[in-house]
Structure formats: C-alpha cells, structure tokens
Chains A and B, each alone.
Chain A
Amino acid sequence: MPIQGVRTVTTARNGVGAFILQCKQLDFHYCDWAGSSRGMVSYLKHQLPAFAKANPQIEIRVSPRPNKHPVIRGLFINGREKVICVRNLEPGAIIKKVNLLKEASGEKLKRTTKPVTSINESVRGIWSPYHGGIKSV
C-alpha cells in the first residue's frame, strides 16, 4: 500500500466557530440567620433572576447552608470548580464575583509570558540557515 492514513482527532478552537461558555453551573449557598449572608440574600432576591435570564447557558442552583458563610461555587466544563466565599459582601460586590466565575475558563491561573499562543503554523515557517537568499560572503 503506497500511502496510509494516520488517524487523529481534530482539536477544538473554542470561539473560532461556536463559542461554548466554560462555566456550566453556579451553586449559591446562603444562611437565613447569619449576618454574613445579608448581602447574599439580598442578591438572591433582587439581582439573581436578571442574571439567570441573561445567562441561560448556566445552570443555577440556590440552596441554604445553615450556620455557614455564604459561598458561590462555579463548576466548569473542564471538570474543575472554583469556590468564592462572599461573607459580609454587598450585592454590588457579589455581582462582580459572579461575573468573575462566569467569565473564567476553569483553568488554574497561569502567567502568560508569550504575546501569542497559537496552534496555527507560522506564516513564514521556521527559520532555517539553509534556505532563503543565501549570500556568498
């Protein structure tokens, strides 16, 4: 057989065609009694319905957790989760935390040192000393 095909799998490029939001679930835990949950309860009553309507792709679960500080838990498509404690926070600050979870990719935070990260080949190829206009010195 002169040529054989090598079986591989295509790699996803999220956002090139369709964009899949990486946050798939947000769990809101609150306490009815404790004062540290006051902001959280107010957020759940007033701001959360609008957030849920604006982001239908996120599954939202609200459940009480008595005698504990309020917590927001985000579950991501890559299987990781991020948990933020929002004790004593005002609803305005909680909105920021929820947005942070929504926009996160779920990966661990990394420092990016290179300006561009790409799986595409370089347009001008990899430099080689044996190509291009070789000048005689």
Chain B
Amino acid sequence: MKRLQLQRWSGSVLSAQARTGGRLQQRLYYAIRHQSTASPAAPAGNDQLVKKQPQAPSISSPHSQKSRYRLPSPPVEAARESAKLAALHARLYLPSRLPLETLARSLVHPSADPNPNFNNESLATLGHDLLTYYASEHLICSYPRLPLTVIFAAMYAYVGPKTLAAMAREWGVESVAAPGGEVDPGYLQFQRLAPGTDVNPETITGTERPHDDEPTWRKSVTSRVVYDNEYGDPVKGPVDPSELAERDAQTSQGVTVEEANASFVSAVMGSIYLHAGRPAAKRFFEQHFLSRHLNISDLFNFSQPARDLARLCARENFEAPVARIVSETGRKSRSPVFVVGIYSGQDKLGEGAGASLLEAHFRAAVAALKGWYLYNPLDVRVPSSMEEEGAAPWKPVHVDLGEVIV
C-alpha cells in the first residue's frame, strides 16, 4: 500500500464536509444536509423518501455560535477547540497524521447525525472489517484446530460489542446526555434509547437463511459460516433502499450505550487505517486488542466428551481411548477422589480428577479433547505479516481436518 494513495483517501474523508452528495450510493437521496443555499434538487418520483426526510433548516453561516444549536452534531471547526478531544487523541497515542477532525467524526453515531458525511458509519464499517480480519487470522493461525463454535466465541471475546464498549470505557470516553451541535466534540454523540424499550428482540427475521421462520429446525454449524455473522449470530440480509429509510428511522429512535461505544472503537480503527496506513492499524490492534487477556480453554462447553474423543481417535487412526485409574483415595468414604487418565495405547491423552469415577472420566475426556483442540504450532505467522516490508517468504500454516463430527 502506497502512502500517497492513503493520503488521497484520507483527504476524501476530511473534505466530506464540503460536499453535499452522499458517499454511499444507496443513501444518495436520503438525509441531505443543506449546507449551502444551492442544494441539489431532490429527484422526482421519490415522494415517499422526500416526505420522510427531516426538515433540515438551511444554515447561512456555520461559523456563528447560534447556528450550532441547529446542527445535529458538532461542526468540524469545533474539533480544534476541544480539550477533551485532544486529550483523548494523546491518551490513545494515535498517530499525528490522524487529525482531530476525524477523531471527532468517529465519535458521532448515526443515531445522532443520520448524514453519512458526518457520522462514523463508514469508518466503523471499515474498522469492524479490519478488526474481525486481524482477530480471525490470529485465532485460526495460532489455534488451527479450534472448533467453529469456539472460534465464534473467541471472536466475540476479542472484538465483540461488549469488549469494544468496555474498551471505550477504559479509554475514558464519556457520552452525551443528548446529541447536538453545541456539545463539546470530545463526547460520544448518540441518541439514547427511551426508557422501557426492549433491547433484546426475541428473534431476528429476514435473514438470508432459507426457512429462517422455523425456529425449531436444526441449524448446522457449517451453515453458520455462510449465513451468520462472525460471532455466529443471525444477520439480516441485504435491504433495498426503501427499507433502509425505515431502518434509519428506527436507529434515530436511539441505540444502546454499548452499541454506540462499539461503533466508536471500530471507527477509530478505521480512521487509523485510512490516515496512517496498514502497519499502524495492525500495531494498534496488537497493542489494544490482542494484549487483552483471554483464556481460550474456558470457552469450551462439552456435552458428551467421551463419545467425541472416541470418534476423534477413530478418525485419526489412534487406538481407542481407555480410561484408567491413575490414583484414588477414600473410595468408601464420604468424599473420595479419583484421578482418571485417558490412554490411547501407551500414551496418556489427558487426565482429570473427580469425586466419582464418572466425573473423573468425564473431566479426563474433556482434558484430552482440549489437548487436541488447543494445539498451538511453533513460529506462527499470520497472512497479514506478508504486508510488511522485507517479509520472509510465506510458509503455509498448519491446516487441520476440522472438528470432530458425531
């Protein structure tokens, strides 16, 4: 990636204020902010859309203090005056090429300002893709045998909305009570949910999955790669522009604090990528995301480990697993302890301790399966390391057969 091109891109992000057209094609005619008196005429034959468009007042000079009350989010010039914003920039050690204006824009959630030129939606989309890319390549290369459900859980733990919201809190980002143009741009701008709103709708309909209206039907794990998102949650399929307006009307009713915070963290990642380039974005990911602590062995939940282990040994042509009592004490007492090891031939695969032979056997099978799934190759390199200057030639990483299918 050439730096020159990056600067050209970043210029387009910065100069968005001057343009009146939409960056995203599907939003071209929706939510146009009339910055100048010569606004483009809304297309005819789109009456419904025009009706729904909020009546944006025409602003004569954006510099006057009074006009700021009419804007949905702080103007670009305010970014240079905000002490909070500069402090946040310095606190995160953001590169100096990332201007304060972009950081201010990444703090505006679409629910506060529906205009895509002024909110962080595009930056957050880019940042989210980068985050999931870096996190998934790290997980798949360093733990090549992880089952898919555990990869989903680990992705959720690394870059899920809960984690991102916690990170924004740990960065000291404060959120506004209500968004507006007069607010300090150092605050996170979003429309809060009305009290009593149901945050968790029961089922998501309108996904691309066939027969998604049948809740009792089995969803295979493999189909979740195709139809679901990176955390294994169902996602809505592509919507046509008319429904997009409805969705925007929904978001303008408000979002949760968690969602707004998560969009800010993704947007910071996206803006670092745009302004400072790929190496800086990757360094930011390693320092802020990968450095967090996660014990992957805690993410497993087995239901029938002994059966899975037998299937695994059959698949890999090992001898069938046999449970053996390594040591025991107090068999006829109230609190006995058994230590059971699982052996395949001469080799011990795993062991577990429990108050009954059944429990110890179960735990031993869990330990053996974790020993298989948590295999970690030496000298792991991720594909994105090839983007560095003077990288060594690529050696293929370990690719596994996949999880045990029973």
Q: Which of A7-15, A42-50, A66-74, A93-101 contacts B (4 or more CB under 8 A)?
A: A7-15
Contact digits for A29-65, partner B, Cβ 8 Å, 1 yes 0 no: 0000000000000000000000000001111110000
Chain A's closest residue to B91 (CB) is A57
Measured in the bound complex, the distance between the Cα atoms of B339 and A56 in whole Å is: 57
Q: Does A128 contact B (CB under 8 A)?
A: yes
Interface contact B329-A130, CB-CB below 8 Å:
yes
Given contacts A2-B308, A2-B406, A10-B163, contact A18 B149 (CB under 8 A): no
26 A-B pairs with C-beta separation under 8 A: A2-B302, A2-B304, A2-B307, A2-B404, A3-B147, A3-B150, A5-B150, A5-B151, A6-B153, A7-B157, A8-B294, A8-B298, A9-B163, A10-B158, A11-B294, A12-B166, A12-B292, A17-B286, A18-B93, A20-B92, A20-B171, A56-B89, A57-B87, A59-B87, A121-B295, A130-B327
Chain A's closest residue to B158 (CB) is A10
Chain A's closest residue to B85 (CB) is A59
B contact residues vs A (CB 8 Å cutoff)? 83-84, 86-87, 89-93, 147, 149-154, 156-158, 160, 162-163, 166-167, 169-172, 221, 232, 286-295, 298-304, 307-308, 326-327, 329, 337, 339, 353, 403-406
Given contacts A18-B287, A77-B170, A130-B337, contact A5 B303 (CB under 8 A): no
Measured in the bound complex, the distance between the Cα atoms of B353 and A38 in whole Å is: 69
Measured in the bound complex, the distance between the Cα atoms of B337 and A11 in whole Å is: 33
- Shortest Cβ distance from B293 into chain A, in angstroms? 5
Interface contact A24-B87, CB-CB below 8 Å:
yes
| A131 neighbours in B (Cβ, 8 Å) | 339
Measured in the bound complex, the distance between the Cα atoms of B301 and A12 in whole Å is: 24
Chain A's closest residue to B149 (CB) is A5
Interface contact A12-B170, CB-CB below 8 Å:
yes
Interface contact B327-A77, CB-CB below 8 Å:
no
| B339 neighbours in A (Cβ, 8 Å) | 130-131
| B172 neighbours in A (Cβ, 8 Å) | 20, 24, 77
Interface contact A56-B303, CB-CB below 8 Å:
no
Interface contact B87-A1, CB-CB below 8 Å:
no
Interface contact A6-B301, CB-CB below 8 Å:
yes
Chain A's closest residue to B406 (CB) is A2
Given contacts A1-B221, A20-B91, contact A6 B299 (CB under 8 A): yes
Interface contact B299-A8, CB-CB below 8 Å:
yes
Q: Does A116 contact B (CB under 8 A)?
A: no
Q: How many chain A residues touch B (Cβ–Cβ < 8 Å)?
A: 35
Interface contact A8-B300, CB-CB below 8 Å:
no
**Nearest 4 CB-CB pairs, A to B?**
A17-B291, A5-B153, A56-B90, A10-B292
Chain B's closest residue to A120 (CB) is B293
User: Main SS of chain B's interface residues?
Assistant: helix
Chain A's closest residue to B153 (CB) is A5
| B308 neighbours in A (Cβ, 8 Å) | 2-3
Known: A20-B170, A20-B171. 5 other contacts (CB 8 A): A2-B303, A2-B404, A24-B172, A57-B87, A128-B353
Could you count the A-B residue pairs with CB atoms below 8 Å apart for me: how many are there?
127
Interface contact B149-A1, CB-CB below 8 Å:
yes
| A134 neighbours in B (Cβ, 8 Å) | 327
Interface contact A130-B353, CB-CB below 8 Å:
yes
- Shortest Cβ distance from B339 into chain A, in angstroms? 5
Interface contact A8-B303, CB-CB below 8 Å:
no
Measured in the bound complex, the distance between the Cα atoms of B302 and A131 in whole Å is: 25
Contact digits for A122-136, partner B, Cβ 8 Å, 1 yes 0 no: 000000101100100
Measured in the bound complex, the distance between the Cα atoms of B366 and A4 in whole Å is: 13
Q: Does A119 contact B (CB under 8 A)?
A: yes
| A128 neighbours in B (Cβ, 8 Å) | 353
Measured in the bound complex, the distance between the Cα atoms of B353 and A102 in whole Å is: 49
Interface contact A9-B160, CB-CB below 8 Å:
yes
Q: Does A16 contact B (CB under 8 A)?
A: yes
Given contacts A8-B157, A14-B170, A130-B353, contact A3 B300 (CB under 8 A): yes
Chain B's closest residue to A8 (CB) is B157
Interface contact B301-A4, CB-CB below 8 Å:
yes
- Shortest Cβ distance from A45 into chain B, in angstroms? 19
Chain A's closest residue to B162 (CB) is A9
Measured in the bound complex, the distance between the Cα atoms of B149 and A8 in whole Å is: 13
Interface contact A3-B302, CB-CB below 8 Å:
yes
Measured in the bound complex, the distance between the Cα atoms of B294 and A42 in whole Å is: 49
Interface contact A6-B293, CB-CB below 8 Å:
no
- Shortest Cβ distance from A76 into chain B, in angstroms? 8
Measured in the bound complex, the distance between the Cα atoms of B167 and A11 in whole Å is: 9
Q: Does A84 contact B (CB under 8 A)?
A: no
Measured in the bound complex, the distance between the Cα atoms of B297 and A121 in whole Å is: 12
- Shortest Cβ distance from A62 into chain B, in angstroms? 11
Measured in the bound complex, the distance between the Cα atoms of B403 and A1 in whole Å is: 12
Q: Does A21 contact B (CB under 8 A)?
A: yes
Given contacts A3-B147, A4-B301, A18-B92, contact A13 B170 (CB under 8 A): no
